[in-house]
């Protein structure tokens, strides 16, 4: 059996995206900036996709700026607010300890340039407190950036409440909603979101395309200079087939959003129930306020990488921490942020589901995993000393 449980890393394209993109790849090749008929047809398709995406978010078309994906949108949102702030002597930013690296590394770069960043605690269940956001805002705060839902542990943040605090305090609010868009209900106006990042490949669209929603009145700075595309705020010939595919994918997933959420969260809950039977295991993240498809467990005495290799041999494709940290030997910054000790933070397993998974696949993983864990523990010196009572169990 082949089981793809790595949908937080990326998703397969849905049929709607493929059906929209395949003809666009061969036919809609003209440059949207060209004045001839073919160019104007490309322009029309581009603007239709913009209007469709705006509608999905409760935004206006003019508030949608196409980018190369979630990372670029995060970079542009944060850099724009920082530059705006610098002109007004506001060089303080409020964020959290468990943001995606596209946000964290951008903030670290700004810190080197003299900005100050407050990283809010996300507590044991991976939740940000709106009261703590409020308390962290200072007269020199130019931006609050808090992710909508975490990519590793799936916890969903009280975005509307944080948005209300920022509005009240007159501070820009950006949210990295890459894991949320397509899966959760979003209305940027009702939730007081000033800027929002999304990425098509996390909701069954193509890779290498995303967008930044920036409310009217937010002054954006370019991070890519060149031509006058995207109202002069993002140079580069638009990837129209990918943009068309992104709009089609989003409309498609949202047309069944509640139905999908119910189906996927039922699979998630069954998987959590099954894996919780394994001794010395722990579910990471919030028990209920979590993405429909997210399961994240730690197994004491088990090292994440070896677990992934053995799962792969059984046809199960999963992840330890996030795709971006695997490949490095550092423990996950997200698991450290929720207070897990280093030795546990190394041994996490992330299983992320989509509407294309089945309950049979969930049952297969529940059947296979305990044996793999036992096999790894039997070989582990760490486990041996835990069993002998030389070291104490943490979970």
Ligand X SMILES: *Cc1c(COP(=O)(O)O)cnc(C)c1O
Q: Which positions are catalytic?
A: 324
**What's the CA gap between 22 and 27, in Å, rounded?**
9
Instruction: Map residue 66 onto helix, strand or coil.
Output: strand
> Rounded CA gap, 204 and 255, in Å?
13
3-state secondary structure at position 269: helix
Supply the minimum distance, in Å, between the C-beta of residue 2 and ligand X: 23
Computed on alpha carbons and rounded to an integer, the radius of gyration of the chain in Å comes to 22
29 vs 26: CA distance, rounded Å? 7
Give the one residue of 6, 52, 63, 176 binding ligand X; rule: CB under 6 A.
176
Residues 56-85, interacting with ligand X (CB under 6 A): 69-71, 74
Mapping DSSP to helix (H, G, I), strand (E, B) and coil, where does residue 210 land? strand
Cβ-contact 5, 353 below 8 angstroms: yes
Q: Measured between alpha carbons, how far is 33 from 238 in angstroms, rounded to an integer?
A: 9
Scanning 113-121, 171-179, 222-230, 294-302 for contacts with ligand X by CB under 6 A, the matching segment is 171-179
Q: Which stretch binds ligand X (CB under 6 A): 49-57, 134-142, 164-172, 176-184?
A: 176-184
User: In angstroms, what is the minimal distance from the CB of 339 to ligand X?
Assistant: 21
Q: Residue 160's CB: how many other CB atoms inside 10 A?
A: 14
Minimum Å gap between C-beta 223 and ligand X is: 13
Which is nearer to ligand X, 167 or 207 (by Cβ)?
207
Q: Least distance to ligand X from the beta carbon of 257, Å?
A: 18
State which of residues 45, 50, 90, 100 lies at the interface with ligand X (CB under 6 A): 100
Instruction: Identify which of residues 3 and 104 has a Cβ nearer to ligand X in the complex.
Output: 104
Site for ligand X in 291-310 (CB under 6 A): none
Decide whether 69 or 304 has the Cβ nearer to ligand X. 69
| Collapsed DSSP state (helix, strand, coil) of residue 338 | coil
**Closer to ligand X at the Cβ: 9 or 386?**
9
Q: How far is Cα 65 from Cα 115, in angstroms, rounded to an integer?
A: 26
User: Which span sits near ligand X by CB under 6 A: 80-88, 112-120, 174-182, 325-333?
Assistant: 174-182
Distances from the Cα of 64 to the Cα of 33, 103, 188, 197, 213, angstroms: 18, 19, 12, 10, 5
- When asked if residue 126 is in the footprint of ligand X (CB under 6 A), the reply is no
Q: Which is nearer to ligand X, 14 or 71 (CB)?
A: 71
Burial of 350 (0-12, 13-18, 19+ CB in 10 A): buried
Binding-residue total with ligand X (CB under 6 A): 14
Q: In terms of CB distance, is 70 or 85 closer to ligand X?
A: 70
Provide φ and ψ at 15, rounded to 5°. Answer: -65, -35
Q: Name, in order, each residue with C-beta under 8 angstroms of 389's C-beta and a sequence gap of 6 or more.
A: none
**Binders in 314-373 for ligand X, by CB under 6 A:** none
Binding mask 237-256 for ligand X (x = CB under 6 A): --------------------
- Distance between CA 165 and CA 152 in Å, rounded? 26
Nearer to ligand X, 302 or 351 (CB): 351
**Closer residue to ligand X, CB minimum distance, 163 or 205:** 205
Site mask, ligand X, residues 183-202, x = CB under 6 A?
----------------x--x
What gap in Å lies between CA 293 and CA 264, rounded to an integer?
6
Q: How far apart are CA 103 and CA 206, in angstroms?
A: 22
Q: How far is the CB of 67 from ligand X (least distance, A)?
A: 8
Q: Which of 7, 95, 179, 320 binds ligand X (CB under 6 A)?
A: 179
The number of beta carbons lying within 10 Å of the beta carbon of residue 284 is: 28
Closest approach of ligand X to the CB of residue 65, in Å: 14
Cα 326 from chain centre? 16
Least gap, CB of 388 to ligand X (angstroms)? 40
Q: Is 102 in the site for ligand X (CB under 6 A)?
A: yes
Closest distance to ligand X from the beta carbon of 70 (Å): 3
The residues that touch ligand X, with contacts defined as CB under 6 A, are: 69-71, 74, 100, 102, 147, 151, 176, 178-179, 199, 202, 210
């Amino acid at each position: 059996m082949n089981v793809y449980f790595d949908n937080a890393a990326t998703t397969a394209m849905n049929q709607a995206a493929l059906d929209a993109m395949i003809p666009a790849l061969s036919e809609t090749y003209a440059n949207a900036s060209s004045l001839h008929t073919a160019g104007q047809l490309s322009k029309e398709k581009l603007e239709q996709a913009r209007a469709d995406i705006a509608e999905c978010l409760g935004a206006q078309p003019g508030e949608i700026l196409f980018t190369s994906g979630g990372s670029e949108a995060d970079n542009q949102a944060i850099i724009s607010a920082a530059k705006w702030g610098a002109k007004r002597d506001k060089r303080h930013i409020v964020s959290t300890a468990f943001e995606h690296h596209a946000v964290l590394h951008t903030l670290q770069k700004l810190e080197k340039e003299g900005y100050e960043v407050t990283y809010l605690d996300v507590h044991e269940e991976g939740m940000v407190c709106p009261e703590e956001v409020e308390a962290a805002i200072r007269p020199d705060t130019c931006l609050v950036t808090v992710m909508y839902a975490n990519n590793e542990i799936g916890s969903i943040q009280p975005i509307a409440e944080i948005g209300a605090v920022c509005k009240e305090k007159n501070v820009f609010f950006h949210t990295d909603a890459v894991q949320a868009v397509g899966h959760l209900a979003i209305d940027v106006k009702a939730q007081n979101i000033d800027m929002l990042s999304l990425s098509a490949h996390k909701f069954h669209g193509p890779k290498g395309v995303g967008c930044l929603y920036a409310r009217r009145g937010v002054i954006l700075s370019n991070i890519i200079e060149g031509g006058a595309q995207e109202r002069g705020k993002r140079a580069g010939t638009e990837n129209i087939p990918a943009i068309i595919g992104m709009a089609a994918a989003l409309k498609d997933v949202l047309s069944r959003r509640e139905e999908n959420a119910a189906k996927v969260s039922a699979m998630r809950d069954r998987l959590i129930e099954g894996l919780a039977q394994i001794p010395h295991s722990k579910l990471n993240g919030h028990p209920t306020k979590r993405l429909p498809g997210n399961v994240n467990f730690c197994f004491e005495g088990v090292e994440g990488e070896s677990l992934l290799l053995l799962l792969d041999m059984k046809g199960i494709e999963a992840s330890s921490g996030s795709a971006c940290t695997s490949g490095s030997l550092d423990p996950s910054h997200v698991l450290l942020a929720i207070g897990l000790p280093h030795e546990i933070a190394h041994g996490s397993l992330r299983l992320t589901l989509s509407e294309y998974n089945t309950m049979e696949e969930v049952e297969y993983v529940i059947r296979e995993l305990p044996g793999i864990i036992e096999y790894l523990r039997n070989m582990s010196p760490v486990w041996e000393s835990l069993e002998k009572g030389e070291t104490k169990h943490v979970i």
